[in-house]
Amino acid sequence: MVRMLRPFTRAVTYTRWLHLSMAIVWPSLWLFIDEAWWTVATATVLLGLAGLVPAMRVVEGFQARLLLTGQRDGGESPEIVVAPSATWGDRSRVVVWLQTRLFFGALVSHLAVQLLLLGVDLVSTGISGERAGGAWLVVTGHHWWHALLAPLPLVLAAAVVVGSGHLITALALCLLGPSPAERLAALEERTEQLLERTRIARELHDSIGHALTVAVVQAGAARAAGDPAFTDRALGAIEETGRAALEDLERVLGVLRESGKPVSGRPTLADADRLLESARASGAKVDAEVTGPVETVPGPVSREGYRILQESLTNVLRHAGAVPVRVRVNVADDALVLAIRNPLPAGAPGAGRGSGLRGIRERAALLGGLARTGPDEGDWQVHAELPLS
């Protein structure tokens, strides 16, 4: 019983009924003045013409969202669109919606009133034997048990109110909801947002992870060395790497604060010397060779190449320590090739399973390239090929 009465404790039940009643106010007044068949036909034609106005979708969408769903703000993915009609398909759906709302509202309102009048007739004939009048269903006779049946029409009227509210809401979601083109546009926008968040997460992982790895390695080496000169160099390397990480962090936070602005100033392969010097200062013996015009590499490819190199060197320092590292960067006519190799220490933790290695492969795949990571003849290698076009 409590479950059956629950809809009547919700405000949306009554706002849905108000939404249906509003649709028949002006046609009802018109019919009250002139009860002619052409009145209904004229109202239907006027609604059809109104539905062709693009702004009508905004008005109806706002009413439906507010009264049918109780939703004042649609959020990122509104179920009912509040936007002007962009295509003739949108306009036709608004026309169908206006016509449906008018006739459905008239039908449901009339049915509810008739059920209430029927309940009054049952009570009247049960007490005095006379009908109150007005109901289409005629109740005759003078029987006391008519009064016992009076609650039944009231229950049916309540069911009509609740059921019609659910039905008109379902129709609104269908006719005033986003069109296939709008759903596709919203999906593309959502996809772009997810890709941007993933990219920002990679930026933070690569930049901050590299800085922390260098700081930890340098601090440990300085403590073990016990040499003031070496400690000064280590602190200088930590400071330089920390400043670079702060710059990267500021760029990423700038993207989060002002999402409409494009990312600018991110490091590219032209700044690779900074990475190599940072790795050397951490104790790694880096043998680097760069061939080809690095400065002509397209921005997106150069930036992702920088991050792949950064993550590769970070993994070397984190898992292998101060070992010889061979870095080869080759810019050919159609591809950028990055090759990083280092001796593979026994029992290296997490080889091939870290999020950094997944990030390297994902970066390469995002540009249509390929990245291989893993052991190779006693060494650990990262080999990435990124197309320039």
The pLDDT tens digits along the chain (389 residues) read: 667 777 777 888 888 888 888 877 766 665 566 665 556 677 778 878 888 888 988 988 888 888 888 655 444 435 788 888 888 888 999 999 988 888 888 888 888 888 888 888 788 877 776 766 666 676 777 777 777 888 888 888 888 888 898 999 989 988 988 888 777 777 667 766 666 677 677 767 766 776 777 777 777 777 777 777 777 777 777 777 777 777 777 666 665 655 554 555 577 888 888 888 888 877 788 899 988 888 888 888 888 888 889 888 888 887 777 789 999 999 987 889 999 999 877 655 544 445 567 778 888 888 888 888 888 877 888 999 999 87
pLDDT of residue 147: 79
CA-closest candidate to residue 217, choices 347, 355, 312, 314: 314
**Pair 82, 134: CB distance under 8 Å:** no
Surface-to-core class of residue 171, CB atoms within 10 Å of its CB (0-12 exposed, 13-18 middle, 19+ buried): middle
pLDDT of residue 74: 42
pLDDT of residue 167: 92
pLDDT of residue 254: 62
Q: At what angle do helices 88-127 and 54-63 cross, to 10 degrees?
A: 40
Return all residues near 79 (Cβ < 8 A) that are at least 6 apart. 69, 71, 173, 177
CB atoms within 10 A of CB 124: 19
pLDDT of residue 353: 45
In angstroms, the CA 249 to CA 256 distance is: 11
Return all residues near 173 (Cβ < 8 A) that are at least 6 apart. 79, 80
> What is the SS3 assignment for 194?
helix
pLDDT of residue 29: 63
DSSP state of 263: P
In angstroms, the CA 101 to CA 148 distance is: 35
pLDDT of residue 337: 92
Tokens, residue 201? 């997460």
In angstroms, the CA 168 to CA 358 distance is: 49
pLDDT of residue 75: 43
**Pair 208, 235: CB distance under 8 Å:** no
pLDDT of residue 255: 57
Return all residues near 253 (Cβ < 8 A) that are at least 6 apart. none
pLDDT of residue 259: 53
pLDDT of residue 326: 92
DSSP state of 214: H
